[in-house]
Amino acid sequence: MKASAKNVRISPRKVRMVVDTVRGKSVSQAMNILSFTRKKAAQPVQKLLRSAIANANENDGISEVDDLLIDSIMVDEGPTLKRFTPRARGRATPIHKRTSHIKIVLRER
């Protein structure tokens, strides 16, 4: 009962703040927390959790969502998009647009 999202265009540091709130919780409780979290990262994490629930239902035949717990959820750094912005006197400063890889594993209670 796994799901992963790769190259999510949010910094891993920001995603980890949201992920830490739902780690170890039941799936229904985690969905409730994510729906009321006012962070940009909450939406892709919630979408990934729905995908993991669908995988559990389709592949393992688990229809009861209340029996599922978040076993592990981790955020790794993905590839960084490197851009430049113009500055004074013809200089340029780098901009690093960071991406995240999010992995989630569910288990039965």
What does the pLDDT read at residue 109? 85
Give the pLDDT band of residue 60 (cuts 50, 70, 90). confident
Q: State the pTM of this model.
A: 0.92
Q: Residue ranges per domain, the chain?
A: 2-108
| CATH number of 2-108, picked from 3.40.50.970, 3.40.50.300, 3.90.470.10, 3.90.850.10 | 3.90.470.10
pLDDT of 1 reads: 86
Is the Cβ–Cβ distance between 13 and 39 less than 8 Å? no
Secondary-structure breakdown of the chain: helix, strand, coil percentages, each rounded to the nearest 5: 40, 35, 20
